[in-house]
Each structure stands twice: as structure tokens, then as C-alpha cells.
Chain A
Amino acid sequence: MALRLVTHGLRKAFNRRIVFENIDTSVSEGETLLIAGRNGSGKSTLVKILCDVLSPSQGSVDITGAGPLNAFTRKALFGLVSPYLQLYDEFSAMENLQLAAALRGLHGDARIHEELLARVALDPKRADPVHGFSSGMKQRLKYALALAHHPRILILDEPMSNLDADGMTIVRGIMTEQRTRGILVVATNDLSDIDVHERKVDLNVRA
């Protein structure tokens, strides 16, 4: 059975101010879901709910076709890149990758980590502490972190933020690749970030 991510009547309110409600959408393997909306429309809130770091006020996010899930395997389905995801600054890029693997309960493979850093063009800096990184370099490292465990669902919130032309090319490659092997979710207000999408949630219409 193909992997499918479905939301049922999602609603989120902070202090009774409704951010969004009645979000019913679904996305299957090989498809891209676009979450569009202006600043403050709740894109990031929806993204957080999708990858289970925020509880919805109502409704649910269901995953089908992934087999039985436990605390670890459910988290392993998701890879997230987003501006509010913070890295551990005092550690180096390699240490961050190693730490993420260990936190997922896995043995980190240093060779794979080096390959990933090479892919996002960070390998010369792999032993430097992250607090010396520019925001663009941090964004690249976030891609390495999100891809390290081969997630079947890759969620990108503002995928191009802080990236230069080379960075954007790398990200486009990552997005194309993800579409062939799983689900891609992109939240952005810049529609030039993304070439094709099969599904769309437009938070502007609802707001």
C-alpha cells in the first residue's frame, strides 16, 4: 500500500484566536503538497502539526501505508527543514548529524554524513562549530539533517530562505528526488520556489 498522509478537520487556536480550521487534505507517495499563504496565515503552524511537534486543537493527522508505527518509526518518517528549527550551536556540523542519528535511536554512519555534507557543499566546514556558520550555511546543514535518515515525508517550510543561487539549485535537486521516493510538502508564499504540485492548501482563502 502506498504511503498516504491525511488530515481530518484540523483546527488550531491560540487563546481562542483561530489560526485555521477545517483543514482536510491528503497527499500520497510521489505527490507534492503545497501549503500557500501570506505571513501569519498559519503555514508554519500547520507544518508543525503535520510533523507532530504541535497538537491540533481539533482533528487529526493520519498516516496510512507505513506499516505499524512506534515512537521512533513514526518520527523517522519525517524530515523537516524550517526557519524555526534550531541547531545545537556549540557542536560542529558532523556532531549535529551524529547527535540527530543517536536521538533517533540509530547508529550514525559517518561516511553517509560526510556524503550529505558534500552534497550541500559544507564538507570543508564539517568540523567547525555551528555558531560560526552564516544563516545560509545553517540552512544547508538543516537539509543534511533532514535527509540523513532517508525520510519518506520531507517537509520544507520556506525552503529557499537564506540560500544563494547554488543553494537553490541543490534544493531543487533534493525536491525532485524526494518526489520520486516519497511525499514532498512545501510551505511557502513564493510560488516560484516550486515547479509542480498535485495538492494545495491555500490558507489565504480560509483566513
Chain B
Amino acid sequence: MSVRETTTLRWIRASLAVFLKDWRSELRTRYAMSALVMFVVTTISIILFSLGGEGASPEVLAGMLWVVIFFAAMSGLSRTFVMEEERGTGMTLQLLTPPGAVFAGKLLFNLVLGAGLTLLTVVLYAFFINGFIVRTLSIFLLTIALGSVGLAAASTIIAAIIARANTKGTLYPVLSFPILLPLLMTVINATRLASDGAPLGEAAGEFQILISYIVVVITVSTLLFEYIWKD
């Protein structure tokens, strides 16, 4: 404390503290992770059963990939806020640290969790689902990266909202879907382009939409979070 520390440094430290707290808590309890992994595995096996050895068109499979990712996100990404609310630790957090740091930390946590879940889904999907082909890898990888960031960004602010409502579980997909729809439509379209083997340039419009979506959602969330967080 003797050294005069800049406020910026305190913001970074506090945000990281929120992130690390959630991360260590997750490593000890494995609440969100086990739910996510099981969800992805079950959903992909249901798809396998329903396809029954017959293939589907790459267009349909591209869409289905994001269906799995969306619902898996809905099963796990609300954990970070709902957990605080259920255990009553939200007030402790409010007492200790500013809302901005809470949001930054939780967003970071969901970004990591979201990236992990997307990666897991893509690997399992590519491994087990025959007929899912990616011809333009660059489009596919960029879509996966931007898609998981956008998904985590929108899911985080909606999670903060539903943590304060009474019917947390059922409400989450209901509130998230209209917000995520622009993102989902864009990533599905981009994934199709990747399956069709379109050149990278053809997906430039999709990437522009995804990037601006991410910027807009994170900006608005940061501005509004304080209202949700403080009683």
C-alpha cells in the first residue's frame, strides 16, 4: 500500500481477481464444466442416432453445429452469475469491488468457457459426424473464433439479467435467443461458405457483421451492467 498505485492497475487487478476466483471455484466444483461437456456429448450422440448412418447435406450440418453450441452455451454460461446469486455472495462482491470489474472478470470467464465449449463441440462434431466438411479452413476458423466471442459476450449480460429473476433456468434461452439470432444467422451462413469452399474474401461481410456485433454488445453491456448489478 505504500506505493501509490494507479487506478488503472487496480481495475486490472480487481477484474483478474473476479476471473481467477470463478476459475478456481470452477476447478474445485466443476459445476459448469461437467454440465457443458455432458451436454455437448449427449446432443452430438442424439444427432448421430437421428441421422442413423445416413448423411445430411453440409448446409444442414453447418446449421446443426451451431444449434449444439447455442444450447450448450445456454446450459453453462449463466453459471457465473447464478452461482453468486444462489449463494448470496453477490453482495460481498458489491461491497468489495466496482461493477465494472465484476463485469470484466465475468466476461473474461465466459470468454474462456465459451471458447472451450466451442472447441470441444467442433472437435467432437468433426470427428463423429460424417459429411461435415470444411473446404475453406480460414473462414471456418475465423467464424469459430468470432462466433464464440460474440456468443460469450451476449450470454454474459443476459446471464446477469436472469440471475436476478425467479425462473433462472427456463428464462435464459428465451431471453438469449432473440439477442443471439443475428449472430447465429451470420455464423451459420459463414460456416456454409466454409463448407462450400468459398474464397476467404466472400465471407468478409460476415466477419464485419460479427465484429461490429461483438463491439456493440460489449459496449452496451458495459454501460448497462451497473443497473443490473446494484440492487
Residues of A within 8 A of B (CB): 48, 51, 53-55, 70-72, 75, 78, 80, 84-91, 99-100, 102-107, 109
* Contacts A71-B98, A75-B97 given; does A90 touch B11 at CB 8 Å: no
A109 to chain B, nearest CB (A): 8
Considering the complex of A and B, which 5 residue pairs feature the smallest CB-CB distances, nearest first?
A: A105-B10, A102-B17, A71-B98, A103-B96, A103-B97
Residues 1-56 of B contacting A (Cβ, < 8 Å): 1, 5, 7, 9-11, 13-14, 16-18, 20-21, 24-25, 28-29
Give Cα distance in the complex from A55 to B11, angstroms.
23
Given A88-B21, A89-B87, A103-B18, the answer on whether A53 and B95 have CB atoms closer than 8 Å is: yes
Say yes or no: A86-B88 contact (C-beta < 8 A), given A99-B17, A102-B16, A103-B97. yes
| 9 A–B pairs (Cβ distance < 8 Å), ordered by A | A54-B230, A71-B100, A72-B14, A90-B28, A99-B21, A103-B18, A103-B97, A105-B101, A106-B1
Q: From A99, which residue of chain B is reached at the shortest CB distance? A: B21
Give Cα A70–Cα B20 distance, bound, in whole angstroms: 24
A38 to B37, CA, bound (A): 50
A105-B11, A107-B13 known; 9 new pairs, CB 8 Å cut-off, are A54-B230, A54-B231, A71-B7, A84-B91, A86-B87, A86-B92, A87-B89, A99-B17, A103-B14
A91 to B26, CA, bound (A): 12
Give the Cβ gap from B86 to chain A, nearest Cβ, in Å.
10
Judged by a CB distance under 8 angstroms, whether B94 is at the interface is yes
Other-chain contact of A75, B21, B25, B98, B231 (Cβ < 8 Å): B98
B interface with A by C-beta (< 8 Å): 1, 5, 7, 9-11, 13-14, 16-18, 20-21, 24-25, 28-29, 87-89, 91-98, 100-101, 230-231
Complex: how many Å from CA A24 to CA B77? 43
A80, A90, A102, A106: the one contacting B95 at CB < 8 Å is A80
Note all chain A residues with C-beta closer than 8 A to B25.
Answer: 88, 90-91
User: Is A53 a contact partner of B94 (Cβ separation < 8 A)?
Assistant: yes
Residue of A55, A89, A90 contacting most chain B CB atoms (<10 Å) = A90
Complex partner residue of A103 from B1, B87, B101, CB under 8 angstroms: B101
Instruction: Report chain B residues within 8 Å CB of A90.
Output: 25, 28-29
CB of B91 within 8 A of CB of A86, answer yes
In the complex, the answer to whether B95 meets A105 with C-beta atoms within 8 Å is no
Residues of A within 8 A of B97 (CB): 75, 103-105
Which among A55, A75, A78 has the greatest number of chain B C-beta atoms within 10 A?
A75
With both chains docked as a complex, state the minimum distance between the C-beta of B230 and any C-beta of chain A, in angstroms.
6
A103 to B22, CA, bound (A): 12
A104 lies within 8 A of B92 (CB)? no
> When the two chains form their complex, are residues B91 and A75 in contact, meaning their CB atoms are under 8 A apart?
no
- Look across to chain B and name the residue whose beta carbon is closest to the beta carbon of A129: B28
Q: Report Cα–Cα, A198/B21, bound state, in Å.
A: 40
A103 touches B93 (CB 8 A): yes
* Inter-chain contact A51/B28, CB cutoff 8 Å: no
On whether the beta carbons of B88 and A102 are closer than 8 Å, the reply is: no
